[in-house]
Structure 1
Amino acid sequence: MTTNWTLTIDCADPAVVARFWCTALGYTEADPPTGWDTWEDWLTALNVPEDEWNDGASISDPDGILPSISFLKVPEPRTVKNRLHLDLQAAGGRAEPQHLREQRIRSKAETLLTAGATLIREVPMENSTTLDHLWMQDPEGNDFCVV
């Protein structure tokens, strides 16, 4: 039997990082809990002080298939390379012609750079100069790859 799960990303500004990942993944802001029209209504009903409203954010797959992702405000900055990261599979797989794979990777990367990502390094295929993937970081320095 499987266990339901979500992914949580620690960050300094959940709203900013959530918006970036909506762009990266095609996700949308998660709906408020059942019975509430807005997150603000829910937070107000729970007496959460307004200065804590950006302590978290949540995004979800609009088709309801893939896991949701939460963003949690933490006081400490990221200090080391992530041991876990997302690979955004934009290229279509290794069976695709290399020129098409590279075009798709670079196109996705350009969208993400505009949304606040940073390109860390172009990574070639082993023993080659042909592009395999791009190592990037989100607006707060969390690693991910475009493959």
Structure 2
Amino acid sequence: MGIRVDLTFDTVNAEALAEFWKLALDYEDEPPPAPFATRAEWAASFGEPDDDEGGGAWLRDPAGAGPRLCFLDVPEPKTAKNRLHIDVRVGKGDDAWQRIRAKSAQLEAAGGRILTTVDGHHIVMSDPEGNEFCVAA
């Protein structure tokens, strides 16, 4: 079996940030691994304390092509620019810039923020917790 890549976000609110990225990437919630019925049951299998306040959320690409995304609550805040970022690709074509602008507007309405616009090419944004990403063709 080949190597897979998961991307993990440290978060303030894992469930809310996962909702944003589901919209951004057309991803879906990943069910807990078998034989567990819930993520809480899965976490308990590691001996996690019942009073653990850290949340988590897991997303997958329904087509199976993209990486799994993990969102884990951590106590410390984001303090610097990302060293790695996601590019949300809307596809090439004559109307690519229009689709880039439409996707950016959709994500801005969902709590994202436009940071920089490079007319005709890409838009740099941040998600609701300040993680930078680009929307491009």
Shared fold, TM over 0.5: yes
Is the CA contact (8 Å cut-off) linking 1:15 and 1:54 kept in structure 2? no
Report the equivalent of 1:127.
Answer: none
Rg: which structure is higher? 1
> TM (normalized to structure 1)?
0.81
The normalised TM-score by structure 2 is 0.86
Q: Distance in 2 between matches of 1:56 and 1:30?
A: 12
Q: Greater shift after overlay, 2-11 or 37-46?
A: 37-46
Residue of structure 2 in register with 1:134 after alignment: 123
Equivalent-residue separation in structure 2 for 1:50 and 1:114 (angstroms): 36
User: Which residue among 111, 114, 122 is the counterpart of 2:109?
Assistant: 114
- C-alpha change, 1:84 and 1:43, in structure 2 (3 Å) is closer
Alignment RMSD, CA only?
2.1
**What are structure 1's unaligned runs of at least 5 residues?**
125-130
Specify the code of the residue in structure 1 equivalent to 2:83.
R
Distance 2:68 2:21 in 1: 11
- Structure 2 residue ranges without an equivalent (≥5): none
How many residues align? The count is 136
Distance 1:112 1:35 in 2: 35
| Matched letter for residue 7 of structure 2 | L
CA distance in 1, matches of 2:2, 2:28: 25
Q: Partners in 2 of 1:45 and 1:84 — Cα distance?
A: 32
Structure 1 residue 2, shift from structure 2 partner: 4.6
2:54 and 2:74 in contact (8 A); partners too? no
Distance 1:146 1:18, change over 3 A: same
Q: Is the 8 A contact 1:86 1:145 kept in 2?
A: yes
Whether the 8 Å CA contact 1:121–1:136 is kept in 2: the answer is yes
